[in-house]
C-alpha cells in the first residue's frame, strides 16, 4: 500500500473518532428523557433462570425451623438476717426467692404435624421451662425424649402450627453433596439464616466429655457428619438438609481449635459437626409412641378456657371490671427478654364505654402495677380487681411505648416509652359477646 493511501486511511479514522467523541459529549451534556432513564432503571430478573435445587429446598423447609429458648430459675438464700451472700439454709427461716432468666437459645426443626420439634440436648439442658418461637409467637414446649450422650432432644409444642419436614436417610449422604444449614445464629436477630456448603466427611468420630446422673465423668464418642456450611452460636439444634429438602442431620458444634471443640488455640474455619438424622430417629419414635392426642387436646381446651376467664372476664358478669382484653407479657416474650418492654399485662383491646376507656387506657399499654402491687400475669391482675366493688377507684400504672407494640413489625420499631399513672373507677359492665 502506498504511503499516501495509508496516511489517508489514518486521517479518516482520526476524523471519525473525533466526530464520535463530539457526539458522545453532546449527548452526555444534554438532558436525559424520562424514557431513557426508565430504560436504564426499570429492569427485571427472571427468577426461573436463577432458581435451582437449593432455592427449591430452602423454600420447602424454611418455615419449619424455629427458635428454641431455655429458661432457668436462679435462686439465692440466706439465714434470714439480710446478709444476702447467696448461701444459707433453704427453709422457712431463710430467703429463697427465684427469678426466671433466659439462660440460652438454639434452633429446632418441626418433624411431625403434631408439634414435635427436634433439637440438641445441650440447647435445653438444665431448663426449668422451654419454649419455641416461630417468628411471631412463643409457645410452651415439653421435653418428651432425649439422650444426653447423643446430644438429641425431642420437644412437643402442640400449639405450634408449622409444616413438618421430611426425614431423610443420613446413611445415603455422599461426600461433596450440597449441604444446606438453617438455624438462628444470635437468636432472633438472624432468625432462619441459611448457609450452604458441602458434606465434607462422614462418620467423624468426635469425643466429648459427659457426666452421668451419678456425677461420674466420662468420655463419649459419637459418629458425626462434617460440613463446611457455616454453623454459628444459635445454630445448634437446627436443620442440615439435602437438596431434596430432607432433614439429614442436626448441626451441633463447630471446630474452632487444634485440639478440642470451642477452643481458640488455632485459626480453624468451616469445620462443623452434625448429628446424623438416623441417630435421632430412635428418639423421634419414642416421642411418637408416648403421644396421646386426646390428652393433648384436653389440655389445650383447659388452657383456652383459663385464658378466656383471665382475659374476657367470663363467669364474672356481676363483678366490676376494667373492660379490657389482655394477655400476659412474661420474660419469655422476645421484647421483654431484650429489655424493650417490661413484664406485665398487655392491653389488646379496650371495650367501648368501659371504665378503662373512660380513664384513658389504650390498646398496647402494658399494665405493670395495680394498687401498688407489681403485676406478673393476667391472673394476678384479675384477682386484685375481684377484691373491689363497683365505684371503687384503683391506681393503675401502665407503660406506653412510642409505637403500639401490637402494631410494630420489628422490636426496633417500638422505640422508647414512659410509665403513666392512671386512676380507674370500676363499674359492673357486661361481658362482650364472643
Catalytic: which of 77, 170, 236, 334? 236
Question: What three-state secondary structure class fits 168?
Answer: coil
Residue 395 C-alpha cell reads as 391506681
> Comparing C-alpha atoms, which of 214, 244, 248 is closest to residue 109?
248
Using the 8-state DSSP alphabet, how is residue 159 labeled? Answer: T
122 classed as catalytic: yes
Give the burial class of 375: count Cβ atoms within 10 A of its Cβ; 0-12 exposed, 13-18 middle, 19 or more buried. Answer: buried
- Of the residues 64, 122, 187, 334, which is catalytic? 122
Q: Which of 77, 116, 151, 334 is catalytic?
A: 151
Write the CB contacts of 39 (distance below 8 Å, at least 6 apart in sequence): none
Distant-in-sequence, close-in-space partners of 233: CB < 8 Å, separation ≥ 6 = 185, 186
Catalytic annotation present for 203: no
* 409 in Cβ contact with 330 (< 8 Å): no
Alpha helix segments (H runs only) across 127-231:
none
> Distance between CA atoms of 94 and 234, rounded to whole angstroms?
38
Strands 166-167 and 246-254: parallel
Distance CA 9, CA 30 (A): 32
Cβ atoms of 37 and 105 within 8 Å: the answer is: no
Residue with cell 367501648: 352
Exposed / middle / buried, residue 376 (Cβ in 10 Å: 0-12, 13-18, 19+): middle
Which residues are registered as beta bridge partners of 97? Answer: 76
Catalytic machinery residues: 122, 151, 236
Amino acid at each position: 500500500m502506498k504511503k499516501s493511501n495509508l496516511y489517508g486511511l489514518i486521517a479518516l479514522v482520526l476524523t471519525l473518532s473525533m466526530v464520535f467523541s463530539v457526539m458522545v459529549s453532546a449527548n452526555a451534556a444534554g438532558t436525559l428523557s424520562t424514557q431513557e432513564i426508565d430504560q436504564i432503571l426499570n429492569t427485571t430478573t427472571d427468577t426461573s433462570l436463577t432458581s435451582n435445587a437449593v432455592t427449591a429446598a430452602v423454600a420447602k423447609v424454611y418455615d419449619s425451623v424455629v427458635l428454641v429458648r431455655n429458661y432457668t430459675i436462679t435462686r439465692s438464700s440466706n439465714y434470714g438476717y439480710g446478709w444476702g451472700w447467696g448461701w444459707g439454709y433453704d427453709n422457712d427461716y431463710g430467703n429463697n426467692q427465684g427469678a426466671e432468666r433466659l439462660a440460652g437459645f438454639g434452633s429446632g426443626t418441626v418433624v411431625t404435624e403434631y408439634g414435635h420439634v427436634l433439637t440438641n440436648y445441650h440447647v435445653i439442658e438444665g431448663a426449668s421451662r422451654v419454649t419455641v418461637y416461630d417468628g411471631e409467637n412463643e409457645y410452651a414446649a415439653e421435653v418428651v425424649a432425649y439422650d444426653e450422650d447423643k446430644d438429641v432432644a425431642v420437644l412437643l409444642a402442640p400449639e405450634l402450627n408449622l409444616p413438618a419436614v421430611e426425614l431423610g436417610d443420613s446413611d445415603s449422604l455422599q461426600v461433596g453433596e450440597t449441604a444446606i444449614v438453617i438455624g438462628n445464629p444470635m437468636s432472633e436477630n438472624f432468625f432462619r439464616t441459611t448457609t450452604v456448603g458441602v458434606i465434607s466427611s462422614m462418620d467423624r468420630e468426635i469425643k466429648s466429655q459427659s457426666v452421668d446422673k451419678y456425677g461420674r465423668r466420662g468420655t463419649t464418642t459419637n459418629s458425626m457428619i462434617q460440613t463446611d456450611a457455616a454453623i454459628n452460636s444459635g445454630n445448634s439444634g437446627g436443620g442440615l438438609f439435602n437438596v431434596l429438602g430432607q432433614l439429614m442431620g442436626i448441626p451441633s458444634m463447630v471446630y474452632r481449635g487444634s485440639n478440642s471443640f470451642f477452643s481458640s488455640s488455632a485459626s480453624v474455619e468451616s469445620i462443623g459437626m452434625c448429628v446424623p438424622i438416623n441417630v435421632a430417629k430412635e428418639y423421634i419414635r419414642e416421642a411418637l409412641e408416648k403421644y396421646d392426642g386426646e390428652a393433648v387436646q384436653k389440655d389445650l381446651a383447659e388452657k383456652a378456657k383459663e385464658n378466656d376467664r383471665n382475659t374476657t372476664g367470663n363467669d364474672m358478669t356481676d363483678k366490676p371490671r376494667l373492660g379490657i382484653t389482655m394477655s400476659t407479657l412474661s420474660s419469655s416474650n422476645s421484647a421483654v427478654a431484650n429489655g424493650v418492654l417490661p413484664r406485665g399485662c398487655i392491653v389488646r383491646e379496650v371495650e367501648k364505654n368501659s371504665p378503662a376507656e373512660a380513664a384513658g387506657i389504650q390498646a398496647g399499654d402494658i399494665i405493670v402495677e395495680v394498687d401498688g402491687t407489681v403485676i406478673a400475669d393476667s391472673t394476678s391482675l384479675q384477682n386484685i380487681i375481684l377484691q373491689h366493688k363497683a365505684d371503687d377507684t384503683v391506681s393503675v400504672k401502665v407503660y406506653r411505648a412510642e409505637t403500639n407494640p401490637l402494631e410494630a413489625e420489628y422490636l426496633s420499631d417500638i422505640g422508647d416509652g414512659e410509665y403513666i399513672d392512671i386512676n380507674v373507677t370500676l363499674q359492673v359492665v357486661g361481658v362482650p359477646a364472643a
